[in-house]
Amino acid sequence: MDVLAVVDTPSIKKYVFETPHLVDIEGASALLDRLNRIELPKLLAETDVQTVYANGGSGQFIFRDSTIAEAEEMLRRAEGLYSEATNGGAALAWAAVPYEGSYNAVVQAAFAKLRAKRDLSAPLSAESFLPLVKLCEACHSRPVSQLYRIPESIWLCSICATKRRTAHAIRHGHDDTRFGLWYQFEDFLGYKVSRPQKLPDIADRIALIYADGNAMGRRIRQITTPEDYRTFSEAVDKAVREACYTALEDLVTGNERSAEISASILLLGGDDLVVVVPADKGLQIAYKIGRTYEELTHEYLGDFLKRNGMGTKLTLSFGVAISRHSHPFEYLIDAAQQLLASAKVRGTNINPDDPPSCIDFHLAQTTSHVDIECARSHYGHLGTEGHYKPTRRPYTLEDLEILTRVAAHLKNENYPTSQLNALYESLFSTPAQAEMIAREIWARNKDKARKALRTAMEMANCFSPLPWSPEGDTILSELVEFYDLLPERPLRGDNSA
């Protein structure tokens, strides 16, 4: 009898992002990448096993001529492998079911069993039981176990020490397996690149980009053979990695002998990614990743998708949270997740079966927790003509192209920013008052400025009546809030900036 097994890494993002230090994040991400793509398949290969896929923290395997008991014994060993390698920081969840019936039905049964097992597990928190011990100076949640002396002395728990040790081994070339996201990026470039050690090394203001694939669950449920599943998952993983590397290559400075980059890849694989870049590069990097991913999935999977009724390409949704580097990292990650969820809703509302790539973005002005829904709660105004909101977010990639064209035009025409600020402030009146104030500002402008503003707002379909579109939204909020962060050259659909 054959047995189908599915595995997952619960709370993978909590493990990777529980500290704000790039070195710990890099170590955690690299360690999980090696376990998932190298060590786990290697261990299971001791039996007659077919690897359907193993990436992005999850995997699927078929044990040939095995009993459930034999498969579960191997999976328990794999669970122990994860626990030992991460010092208990990350766990491997798994489920195994007899491979009887259609592949699709068996996969759904395995995932249902996996979800049930995960729901029954409740992780314990050490600090709840040991309130008087010294806590780790990295995660601030577990008791310390050692004084880690490289590069400076710091008290760490065993989990954080393992992450840091892994990162230092990679950074200083003490590991010859060339695993980890930065090695893969360097392989893509064909040369070594010096990367930032800490968030301030990237920029004073940073953009955290969080991306995830659209409608992946629905598409996966349409796959009927393990061979097709492998083809699909490997192509998606390859496309998201290459799209990320292609976009980040634009940030590399210097030459092949002394190349540097002001960016950090925090998580990459499967159908999602998390990267940090300078704030003024955030939107254009996200845009290029999205466009490149669409092109690559069309190239790698176009015929496959069309044959299976899944369209001709895949798309991503993006959440881009922008703040100063000193903003609490956990708050920044949370804001990006909220923005990602918002972008996904926009895409689904446009086309539930084939959502387009969408992006939502927010500029955090304080160091407190950001609640995106609350921050935008005052954006809705009921006017006599229907619902108005002084924002167009979340954007499609086409919307973002328009926004950058508008900004570039106004900058080229030297349109006064004081006038833009006055237009922006008018949005927080009633819709009718905003229209009246905007028309008055436009009328007071000199001929050149008046023409520049009209041309710009007509590009965004927000001139009749100014500042609203026929749908009752406007780009003015994004235009003013992100004016200095938008690229000097408009983004274009040919994937060039």
Mean pLDDT over all residues of the chain?
91
Residues 465 and 323 in one domain: no
Distance between CA atoms of 17 and 25, rounded to whole angstroms? 6
Tell me: the pLDDT tens digits for 38-59? 999 999 999 999 999 998 889 9
Give residues with Cβ within 8 angstroms of 255, minimum separation 6: none
Beta strand extents in 394-469 (DSSP E only): 395-396
Q: Are residues 25 and 93 in the same domain?
A: yes
- pLDDT tens, residue by residue, 136-191: 999 998 999 999 987 778 999 999 999 999 998 887 766 555 667 888 899 999 99
pLDDT category of residue 248 using cuts at 50, 70 and 90? very high
Confirm whether 494 is domain-assigned.
no
Specify the pLDDT at position 466. 92
Q: Which amino acid is at 178?
A: R
Residues 259 and 406 in one domain: no
The distance from CA 171 to its chain's CA centroid, rounded to whole angstroms, is 24
pTM of the model: 0.93
Q: Are residues 323 and 419 in the same domain?
A: no
- Whether residues 302 and 407 share a domain: the answer is no
> 């007509």: which residue's tokens?
458
122 has pLDDT over 60: no
Q: Helices 22-34 & 158-171, crossing angle to 10 degrees?
A: 90
Identify the domain containing residue 238 by its residue range.
Answer: 198-375
Give the separation between CA 220 and CA 60, rounded to whole angstroms. Answer: 13
| 371 and 447 housed in the same domain | no
Beta bridge partners of 387: 382
Cβ-based neighbour number of residue 80 at 10 Å: 12
Are 401 and 361 part of one and the same domain? no
- The pLDDT score that the predictor gives to residue 128 is 47
**If you search the block for the tokens 């922006």, which residue do you land on?**
424
Of 328, 355, 375, the position where a domain reaches its end is 375
Cβ atoms of residues 238 and 232 within 8 Å: no
Three-class DSSP category at 115: helix
Q: Please tell me whether residues 371 and 392 are part of one structural domain.
A: no
Q: What pLDDT sits at residue 496?
A: 47
Q: What is the dihedral of CA 361, 364, 367, 373, to 10 degrees?
A: -70
Radius of gyration of the chain (CA): 25
Q: Does 360 lie in the same domain as 235?
A: yes
Q: Which residues pair with 211 in a beta bridge?
A: 273, 318
Q: Are residues 366 and 234 in the same domain?
A: yes
Tens digits of per-residue pLDDT, 388-433? 888 999 999 999 999 999 999 999 999 999 999 999 999 988 889 9
Residue 403: what pLDDT?
98
Query: Which residue, 94, 121, 148, sits at the end of a domain?
Result: 121
Whole-Å CA distances, 495 to 34, 52, 263, 284, 397: 32, 33, 20, 10, 11
Cβ–Cβ under 8 Å, residues 468 and 381:
no
User: How many structural domains does the chain have?
Assistant: 3
| 352 in the same domain as 402 | no
Which of 12-21, 214-223, 314-323 has the highest mean predicted lDDT (pLDDT)? 314-323
291 and 396 together in one domain: no
117 vs 174: which has the higher pLDDT: 117
- Residue 445: its H or E element: none
Decide if 210 is inside a domain.
yes
Whole-angstrom distance, CA of residue 215 vs CA of residue 64 = 31
Single out the residue of 414, 157, 202 nearest to residue 325, CA to CA.
Answer: 202
Distance from C-alpha of 159 to C-alpha of 347, rounded to nearest angstrom: 38
What is each CA distance from 158 to 84, 126, 194, 463, in whole angstroms?
Answer: 11, 13, 28, 60
Q: Is 446 part of a structural domain of the chain?
A: yes
Average pLDDT over residues 214-232: 94
Measured between alpha carbons, how far is residue 21 from residues 16, 125, 231, 244 in Å? 10, 21, 36, 21
CATH number at residue 290: 3.30.70.270
Q: Report if residue 286 sits inside a domain.
A: yes
CB count in 10 Å sphere of residue 401: 17
| Confidence check: pLDDT of 363 > 90 | yes
CA-to-CA distance for 171 and 196, rounded, in angstroms? 11
pLDDT digits (tens, 9 = 90+) for 330-348: 999 999 999 999 999 999 9
CATH number at residue 60: 3.30.70.1230
- How far apart (Å, rounded) are the C-alpha atoms in residues 372 and 334? 10
Does residue 38 form part of some domain?
yes
Three-state helix/strand/coil letters over 18-67 = CCCCHHHHHHHHHHHHHHHHHHHHHHHCCCCEEEEEEECCEEEEEECCCC
Q: Please check whether residue 77 lies inside any domain of the structure.
A: yes
Whole-number pLDDT of residue 129: 57
Residue 192 inside a domain? The answer is no
Q: Are 75 and 96 in contact (CB under 8 A)?
A: yes
**How far apart (Å, rounded) are the C-alpha atoms in residues 425 and 362?**
18
**CA dihedral over 404, 281, 395, 312, signed as positive or negative:** positive
Which of 375, 395, 428 is where one domain is finished? 375
pLDDT band at 125 (very low <50, low <70, confident <90, very high): low
Instruction: Tell me how far apart the alpha carbons of residues 231 and 346 are, in angstroms, rounded to a whole number.
Output: 29
Structural domain contains residue 14: yes
